[in-house]
């Protein structure tokens, strides 16, 4: 067989099951695009910005759990892709970015669109490669898939100079596909010790992170929780591991948790951390997080154990394997005083979502959309107030239903991630809750959704402001609102029309419920503008750097602030 | 004054591996004050010696090093390891 480097890349991607690739062509990756044009089984999705392409790949990877690939050219193509890849690093998402590079004889000459892509991608990838010859691609591509999905998943970057893409190679057989390493041996002593702590606990709480989603361990996690009758908190990334309506679910913990959730954590005597990394948004002031708890920490990444909080027992393992070993050693427990205490806390410190019955309110729109959605649904968000409200209010049912930028908190994530999810789940409805600030950061992908005619419904929670910045300035910077409000409001309905997308405005309609129903019912993409009062805040809120028990429950000064506006 | 620790890394021998290791320390503001690297007898591998200060974060740094795909093994030695002592004469002003 005789193929060019570019053809080898495309064939190897085909062999690894890749069927849809988002990207943008440019001078340095044209040979790859030429080879892609000849592929009979890979579709290309033309994004409008490389960050959009990267987030489309993330959407694909997040809903399927399988690696997704995207393409960009050298120079600005590569630099534009960085945020999407960095975001995947923080949230452990297996995406593979393949960029073109200037030919090797021009590297180091400040050639047109030359940038040190390899160097730039080191700190934001799990691993990165520079292909120095077409032959090396036989090792690099399968290895990229192996690394992306082995252990803790993560993003990979492969930089391929143009001459490598064009070089012809003669070879006899294709390399084996990259598969996940499976070389973890369980330390049974630690499992036994963990079981002892869990069995002796009077007030255990299970703390579930994104690792439960990545390792497809939701079912075994749920079985363990039920065996223990243990109240369970989830991180932002862990939402969906246990259905929100599950009687043992306390929802999300941390900065924007329900008050009873953070209070319950104050009282627990054992914290069973499953695939969670004690992120500062979850723990609040670390020294005061679960002050009385012995910690059992299971994570596939050894560097997460004892990184933030010392665990009594640390277990490095795939979560599913660990629970399988742990479960027979755990005593079944009936509901007891601790469960009663949790119910009492729920009564004493309830979650309050204002105006929930009003479908045009900040919380109401989420609740009503959730109530009207039928069948398979996926929810993406951008970053900010709307994101926290969806995390608080949306009744998640299953893992991978919830796609959000957790670790990096990248505004601009929601729309392209929804496109990626819809590409993989064409029969489903994908809802993107976004804000007016966030959607402007990747609004160009509206046309990508239209071109692909994807069933993506975009709800723009529009307060004409960077709402969470506004909230923090109002609460913690003595109301000095600066650079948070936009002086001109964008007409998103018109913008969507310009992108040939159906659009709706909740602000001017008389029957919000039928408007939402219409927007959801018609197949294909739609944008719905949802005007939100900028002074409606997300509560509870733990002040940044504060302990979780110090959460603010409501805006004590709202009335006064509102009067100031009226004057 | 903090004492030194010597780290001995066995790494894959290809361009970029030094950068992966050194940038890991640099981006965590963890000073490396000595670096030595040469291929081993096996041409596919190199040995990388680092001299770093003892620090509470060192355990975490070692775990992070072990996560690098190109790092095959990490060993920790005490400050008295001879590797940097004997080469020291080439570094005197």
Range from A107-116, A512-521, B71-80 carrying the lowest mean pLDDT: B71-80
- Cβ of B19 within 8 Å of Cβ of A122? The answer is yes
Nearest to A85 by CA among A379, A408, A403, A378: A408
Average pLDDT over residues A57-85: 98
Task: Answer whether B57 touches A (CB < 8 Å).
Answer: no
Nearest CA in chain A to B59: A303
Nearest to A550 by CA among A267, A255, A299: A255
Task: Answer whether A180 touches B (CB < 8 Å).
Answer: no
Contact pairs from chain A to chain B, CB under 8 Å: 26
Range from A132-146, A439-453, A519-533, B28-42 carrying the lowest mean pLDDT: B28-42
Containing A520, the helix (H) or strand (E) segment is helix A512-521
Nearest CA in chain A to B62: A303
**Percentage of the residues of chain A whose pLDDT score is greater than 90:** 97
Residue in B20, B67, B69 nearest the CB of A303: B67
Confidence category of residue B85, pLDDT binned at 50, 70, 90: confident
Task: Answer whether B33 touches A (CB < 8 Å).
Answer: no
Residue in B15, B20, B63 nearest the CB of A303: B63
Q: Which chain A residues are closer than 8 Å to B19 by Cβ?
A: 119, 122
Nearest CA in chain A to B66: A303
B90 DSSP assignment = G
Confidence category of residue A280, pLDDT binned at 50, 70, 90: very high
- Cβ of A118 within 8 Å of Cβ of B69? The answer is no
Task: State the best of A303, A308, A311 to mutate against chain B, taking most chain B CBs within 10 Å.
Answer: A303
A481 pLDDT above the threshold of 60: yes
Task: Answer whether A116 touches B (CB < 8 Å).
Answer: no
- Cβ of B67 within 8 Å of Cβ of A119? The answer is no
B36 pLDDT above the threshold of 90: yes
Q: Which is it for the CA torsion A193, A222, A388, A539, positive or negative?
A: negative
Residue A322 makes CB contacts below 8 A (sequence gap 6+) with: A186, A191, A298, A315
Say what the pLDDT of residue A530 is: 98
Q: How many domains are contained in chain B? A: 1
Say what the pLDDT of residue A565 is: 45
Task: Answer whether B45 touches A (CB < 8 Å).
Answer: no
Interface predicted TM-score (ipTM) of this complex, two decimals: 0.94
Average pLDDT over residues A416-429: 98
Residue in A118, A127, A302 nearest the CB of B63: A302
**Where in the sequence is the domain holding B56, given as residue range(s)?**
4-91
Our CA angle for A264, A265, A267, nearest 5°, is: 70
Nearest CA in chain A to B71: A127
- Cβ of B59 within 8 Å of Cβ of A306? The answer is yes
Q: At what angle do helices A512-521 and A362-372 cross, to 10 degrees?
A: 50
Cα A514 from Cα A517, distance rounded (Å): 5
Our CA angle for A141, A142, A148, nearest 5°, is: 90
Task: Answer whether B20 touches A (CB < 8 Å).
Answer: yes
Note the maximum CA span of chain B. Answer: 39
Residue in B20, B27, B60 nearest the CB of A303: B60
A387 pLDDT above the threshold of 80: yes
Q: Which chain B residues are closer than 8 Å to A149 by Cβ?
A: none
Task: Answer whether A328 touches B (CB < 8 Å).
Answer: no
Say what the pLDDT of residue A562 is: 45
| DSSP calls for A59-106 | HHHHHHSS-EEEEE-STHHHHHHHHHHHHHHHTT--EEEEEEE--GGG
| DSSP calls for A298-353 | EES-GGGTTTSS--SEEEES-HHHHHHHHGGGSPP----HHHHHHHHHHHHS----
CB A442 within 8 A of CB A419: no
Task: Answer whether B40 touches A (CB < 8 Å).
Answer: no
Task: Answer whether B67 touches A (CB < 8 Å).
Answer: yes
Task: State the best of B63, B64, B70 to mutate against chain A, taking most chain A CBs within 10 Å.
Answer: B63
A325 pLDDT above the threshold of 60: yes
Average pLDDT over residues A429-456: 98
A558 pLDDT above the threshold of 90: no
Nearest CA in chain B to A152: B67
A560 pLDDT above the threshold of 60: no
Instruction: For residue B21, give the CATH number of its domain.
Output: 3.30.70.260
Nearest CA in chain A to B27: A123
Interface of A with B in 139-178 (CB under 8 A): 147
Say what the pLDDT of residue B86 is: 83
Measured between CA atoms, how close is A143 to chain B, in angstroms? 10
Measured between CA atoms, how close is B85 to chain A, in angstroms? 31
Say what the pLDDT of residue B89 is: 86
Q: What is the pLDDT of residues A339-368, one digit of tens each?
A: 999 999 999 999 999 999 999 999 999 999
Say what the pLDDT of residue B80 is: 81
Containing A34, the helix (H) or strand (E) segment is helix A30-37
A552 DSSP assignment = B
Say what the pLDDT of residue A556 is: 60
Report how far apart, in Å, the C-alpha atoms of A500 and of each of A207, A380, A493 are: 44, 22, 10
Q: Which chain A residues are closer than 8 Å to B27 by Cβ?
A: 123
Cα A423 from Cα A172, distance rounded (Å): 35
Task: Answer whether B31 touches A (CB < 8 Å).
Answer: no
Q: What is the pLDDT of residues A178-211, one digit of tens each?
A: 999 987 789 999 999 999 999 999 999 999 999 9
Cα A231 from Cα A225, distance rounded (Å): 8
Terminal CA-to-CA distance of chain A, rounded, Å? 78
Say what the pLDDT of residue A289 is: 95
Residue in B16, B63, B64 nearest the CB of A130: B16
Q: Which chain B residues are closer than 8 Å to A302 by Cβ?
A: 63, 66-67
A173 pLDDT above the threshold of 90: yes
- Cβ of A303 within 8 Å of Cβ of B19? The answer is no
Task: Answer whether B44 touches A (CB < 8 Å).
Answer: no
B1 pLDDT above the threshold of 70: no
Domains of chain A, CATH where assigned: 2-170 (3.40.50.970), 188-348 (3.40.50.1220), 362-538 (3.40.50.970)
């Amino acid at each position: 067989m005789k193929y060019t480097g570019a053809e080898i890349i495309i064939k190897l991607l085909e062999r690894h099951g890749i069927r849809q690739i988002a990207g943008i062509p440019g001078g340095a990756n044209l040979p790859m695009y030429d080879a892609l044009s000849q592929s009979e089984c890979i579709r290309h999705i033309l994004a409008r910005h490389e960050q959009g392409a990267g987030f489309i790949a993330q959407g694909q990877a997040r809903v399927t759990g399988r690696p997704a690939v995207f393409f960009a050219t050298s120079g600005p193509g590569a630099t534009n892709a960085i945020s999407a890849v960095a975001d995947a690093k923080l949230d452990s998402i297996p995406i593979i970015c393949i960029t073109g590079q200037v030919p090797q004889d021009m590297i180091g000459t400040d050639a047109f669109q030359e940038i040190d892509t390899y160097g730039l991608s080191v700190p934001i990838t799990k691993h990165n490669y520079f292909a120095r010859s077409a032959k090396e691609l036989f090792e690099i591509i399968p290895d990229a898939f192996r690394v992306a999905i082995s252990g803790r998943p993560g993003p990979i970057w492969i930089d391929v100079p143009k001459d490598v893409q064009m070089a012809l190679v003669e070879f006899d057989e294709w390399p084996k596909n990259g598969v996940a390493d499976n070389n973890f041996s369980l330390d049974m002593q630690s499992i036994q010790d963990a079981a002892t702590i869990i069995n002796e606990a009077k007030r255990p709480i299970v703390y579930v992170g994104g690792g439960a989603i990545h390792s497809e361990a939701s079912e075994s996690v749920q079985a363990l929780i039920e065996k223990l009758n243990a109240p369970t908190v989830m991180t932002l990334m862990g939402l969906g591991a246990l259905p929100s309506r599950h009687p043992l679910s306390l929802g999300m913990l941390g900065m924007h948790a329900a008050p009873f959730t953070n209070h319950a954590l104050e009282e627990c005597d054992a914290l069973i951390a499953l695939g969670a990394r004690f992120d500062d948004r979850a723990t609040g002031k670390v020294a005061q997080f679960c002050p009385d708890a012995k910690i059992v920490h299971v994570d596939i990444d050894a560097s997460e154990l004892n990184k933030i909080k010392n665990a009594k027992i640390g277990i490095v393992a795939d979560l599913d394997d660990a629970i399988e070993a742990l479960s027979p050693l755990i005593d079944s427990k009936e509901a007891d005083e601790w469960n009663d205490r949790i119910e009492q806390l729920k009564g004493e410190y309830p979650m309050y979502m204002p105006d929930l019955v009003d479908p045009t309110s900040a919380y109401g729109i989420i609740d009503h959309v959730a109530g009207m959605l039928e069948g398979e649904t996926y929810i993406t968000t951008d970053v900010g107030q709307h994101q926290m409200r969806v995390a608080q209010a949306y009744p998640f049912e299953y893992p991978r239903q919830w796609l959000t930028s957790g670790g990096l908190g990248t505004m601009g994530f929601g729309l392209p991630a929804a496109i990626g999810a819809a590409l993989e789940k064409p029969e489903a409805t994908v809802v993107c809750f976004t804000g007016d600030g966030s959607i402007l950061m990747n609004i160009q992908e509206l046309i990508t959704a239209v071109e692909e005619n994807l069933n993506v419904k975009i709800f723009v929670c529009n307060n004409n402001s960077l709402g969470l910045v506004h909230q923090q300035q109002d609460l913690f910077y003595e109301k000095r609102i600066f650079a948070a409000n936009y002086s001109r409001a964008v007409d998103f309905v018109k913008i969507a029309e310009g992108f040939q997308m159906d659009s709706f405005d909740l602000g001017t309609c008389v029957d919000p419920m039928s408007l939402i129903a219409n927007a959801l019912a018609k197949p294909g993409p739609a944008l719905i503008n949802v005007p939100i009062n900028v002074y409606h805040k997300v509560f509870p809120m733990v002040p940044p750097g504060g302990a979780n028990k110090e959460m603010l429950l409501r805006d004590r000064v709202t009335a006064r602030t509102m009067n100031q506006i009226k004057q | 004054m903090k004492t030194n620790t010597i780290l001995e890394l066995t790494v894959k021998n290809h361009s970029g591996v030094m950068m992966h290791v050194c940038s890991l320390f640099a981006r965590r503001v963890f000073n490396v004050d000595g670096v030595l690297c040469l291929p081993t007898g096996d041409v596919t591998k190199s040995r990388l010696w680092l001299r770093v200060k003892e620090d509470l974060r060192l355990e975490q740094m070692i775990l992070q090093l072990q996560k690098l795909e190109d790092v095959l093994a990490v060993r920790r030695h005490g400050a008295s390891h001879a590797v940097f002592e004997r080469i020291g004469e080439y570094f005197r002003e």
